[in-house]
Structure 1
Amino acid sequence: MEWKNHDYGRTREMREKYIPFDSVDKFIELKPNDTLLDVGPGDGFYALSFAKEVPRGTVTAMDLNEDSVSEIKKAQESSGIKNLVVSQNDICTVTDFSRYTKIFFSNVFHDLNCRDKILNNMISTFVDKTRIIFIEFKKESTIGPPANIKISQDDLKGIMKKHGFSFLKGEDLTEHYMQMYTI
Structure 2
Amino acid sequence: MSRFQNTRQPDWDWWGKLWPTPGETLRDFGLSSGETVVEIGCGDGYFALPAARIVDPGTVYALDLEASLLSELEAIAEQQQIENVVPLEGDARSLADHLPESVDVAVIANTFHGVDDPTPLVEEIADVLVEDGSFIVVNWRDRPKETTTVDGEARGPPTELRLAPDATRAAVEAASELTLTEAVDIPPYHYALCFDR
Instruction: State the TM-score bracket (shorter-chain normalisation).
Output: 0.7 to 0.9
Q: Which moved more, 1:13-22 or 1:35-44?
A: 13-22
Equivalent AA in structure 1 for residue 174 of structure 2: K
Q: Secondary structure at the match of 1:95?
A: helix
Specify the alignment match of 2:151 in structure 1.
none
Residue aligning to 2:152: none
Give 2:158's aligned amino acid: P
Q: CA deviation at 1:47?
A: 1.0
2:110 aligned with 1:107, yes or no? yes
Note closer, same or farther for the CA distance 1:90–1:21 as it changes in structure 2 (3 Å cut): same
What whole-Å deviation, never above 9, does each CA across 1:119-145 have from its counterpart, x for those lacking one?
A: 122334433221011110000153311
Q: Structure 2: which amino acid aligns with 1:177?
A: Y
Aligned to 1:69: 70
Change (3 A) 1:7 1:160: closer
Could you give the per-residue CA deviations for residues 67-122 of structure 1, whole angstroms, max 9, x where no partner exists? 21111011112122111101111111223676110011110111123521121223
2:159 is paired with a residue of what secondary structure?
A: coil
Cα distance in structure 1, aligned partners of 2:71 and 2:55: 23
Deviation at 1:3, TM superposition (A): 6.1
* CA–CA separation in structure 1 for the residues paired with 2:170 and 2:20: 24
Question: What is the CA–CA distance in structure 2 between the aligned matches of 1:29 and 1:159, rounded to whole Å?
Answer: 23
Task: Say whether the 8 Å CA contact 1:44–1:72 is kept in structure 2.
Answer: yes
- Aligned residue for 1:60? 61
Are the equivalent residues in 2 in contact too, given 1:111–1:149 (CA < 8 A)? yes
TM-score when normalising by structure 1: 0.87
Aligned counterpart, 2:158? 146
CA RMSD in angstroms comes to 2.2
Q: Aligned in 2, Cα 1:67/1:126: closer, same or farther, shift over 3 Å? A: same
Distance 1:57 1:22 in 2: 15
Which runs of 5 or more residues in structure 1 are unaligned? none
Q: Which residue of 1 aligns with 2:171?
A: 159
1:128 match: secondary structure:
strand
1:2 shift after superposition: 6.5
- The question of 1:133 aligning with 2:136 is answered yes
Match of 1:179 in 2: 193
Other-structure match for 1:168: 181
Q: 1:56/1:23 Cα in 2 relative to 1: closer, same or farther (>3 Å)?
A: closer
Letter in 1 for 2:166: D
Letter in 1 for 2:184: E
The 1-side partners of 2:128 and 2:31 are apart by 21
Letter in 2 for 1:42: G
> Contact (CA 8 Å) 1:106, 1:135: kept in 2 or not?
yes
Task: Please tell me whether the aligned partners of residues 37 and 61 of structure 1 are also in contact (alpha carbons under 8 angstroms).
Answer: yes
